[in-house]
Chain A
Amino acid sequence: MNMNDKYYKELLEQYADIKLKLTMYEQAMEELDDVDVNDIPSEIASYADEMYPRILKLLRHKMLPHSIKGFAKKHIPTAARVAAVFVLFIYVGLTVAIASSDTVRRYVGNFLIERTDKYSRIEFQVYDVAVEVPDGWIPNYYFTYIPEGFSVASVISDQNLSTVAYVDDNQNIVTLTTGNVYAYSHFDTEDCVVETVEFGEGSAEYAVNDNGNKYLTWIVGDRYFILRTTLSYEQLIRIAESIKIIK
């Protein structure tokens, strides 16, 4: 073995580095065993709980007080001058305002182009029933159809995992859970009959148990959905298919 070979030396050095990395990884894991990660004294826990929601709120709204102040100072004088000119474009502004209002956004449309010999007709096909998106719902997906008689019972929503539950007077329920790649969810498949069904342009897992609970789970891009209801399979599919991008 030629120890003067530069390449051989490099390989040995890399080999040493990898062994050291492995050793230090195991060492770090061992050191963590001595740390009780759940042992947070109440004094520290309450300090953290008081302080951090404000930060999380700032993060959620993606706004910072100093940046707002800086922005206002810098741009308001310019904006005032531009405002006079902007009046001329009031119709454009009005259109934008309408398009970005909650009422309009609740409707989900398909853009249709119908081509004839003489002209092409362009229109939106609006879905039949608009569903009120509850306050605090963060994901970009929501139902556009919920059977009559149902009202929102609870909403829990953050950037990663969100759940909304609907109930009606007959104690029927519809719940939707949706999460991204950082969120974990589970549902009880004990005593369930599980099968793969065709859904949308792909497939979904359908499960039903003895209590009449029906679950449909599917994935769109990096987001998964779990829809649960005590209604019929047809209603389950109809509700699932009504979930669209809302903003």
Chain B
Amino acid sequence: MLIIPIAILNIEVEDDRYFMEWVFRKYHRLMLKRAYDVVENLSDAEDVVGDAIVALIPHMGRLRKFDNKALIAYIVRTTVRAAYKYKTKSQKQALVNIDIEDVQDLQSDDEDVDAGVMRECSVESMRTALKQLRDTDREILLMRYFDMLDMSSIAEAQNVTESTARSKLARARKRLYIIIKEQQKNEYE
């Protein structure tokens, strides 16, 4: 449990330190509740809150720009992610490796297709397409584009290797664009 004060006190800038203390003071109940929903044990939930605070610290710059609702959304997502990571760790799931060339193949051609589709679609149509995506795909897209996690953090959160995470993200994007393309096709017809 000492991880929380250690993490906060190690923040160099005083203003940032006070901000994280404020975040913790204001939202610790909510964080504990969300962690408990996943790990179903108060003692484990307590550890998860510590992990979530540590995970939030590098993103303070963004957190301070958020309004209240976005801040809560980010805190809730980070806590839930930390809880799943904690749970997965305790279940000792094996890492799944994937051939790096496979990932590169996915990236090379598909990004052109993505960009072309993206140029024409609206955010609204992306939202509609997102609803048709699988939960796992939607989650990895949220991690990358809302949580703004780098690939190593996504890999860590999903308990997979970095190359697998990259592959999963590329596939999620590809599936999203396929849905958008179909939507566009239906509109033209």
Contact = CB atoms under 8 A, between A and B. Distances in A.
Interface stretch (B71-79, B89-97, B159-167): B71-79
Interface stretch (B30-38, B98-106, B150-158, B181-189): B30-38
Contact of B146 (A12, A27, A52): A27
A23 B42 contact: no
Interface string A181-195: 110000000000000
A23 B145 contact: yes
Given A27-B138, A32-B69, A159-B18, A20 B76 contact: no
B30 A66 contact: no
Contacts of A39: 33
Nearest to A10: B115
A75 B112 CA distance: 62
A32 B28 CA distance: 17
A79 interface: no
Contacts of A182: 18-19, 22
Nearest to B22: A182
Interface stretch (A40-48, A100-108, A212-220): A40-48
B50 to A, nearest CB: 10
Contacts of B114: 13, 16
- Which among A9, A32, A39, A59 has the highest number of chain B CB atoms within 10 Å? A59
Interface residues of B, number: 50
B60 interface: no
A181 B2 CA distance: 27
A83 interface: no
Contacts of B83: none
Contacts of B74: 28
Where chain A touches its partner, the secondary structure class is helix
Interface residues of A, number: 46
A22 interface: yes
Contact of A56 (B25, B45, B112, B145): B25
B32 A47 contact: yes
B76 A32 contact: yes
Given A47-B42, A48-B32, A182-B22, A37 B5 contact: no
6 A-B pairs closest in CB distance: A12-B115, A16-B118, A24-B146, A24-B145, A23-B126, A32-B73
Given A20-B126, A25-B146, A58-B2, 17 more contacts: A19-B121, A20-B173, A23-B123, A24-B144, A27-B142, A28-B77, A31-B73, A32-B72, A35-B34, A44-B42, A48-B29, A52-B24, A52-B25, A52-B28, A56-B25, A159-B22, A182-B18
Interface of B: 1-2, 4-6, 8-9, 15, 18-19, 21-22, 24-25, 28-30, 32-34, 36, 42, 45-46, 69-70, 72-74, 76-77, 111-112, 114-116, 118-119, 121, 123, 126-127, 130, 138, 141-142, 144-146, 173
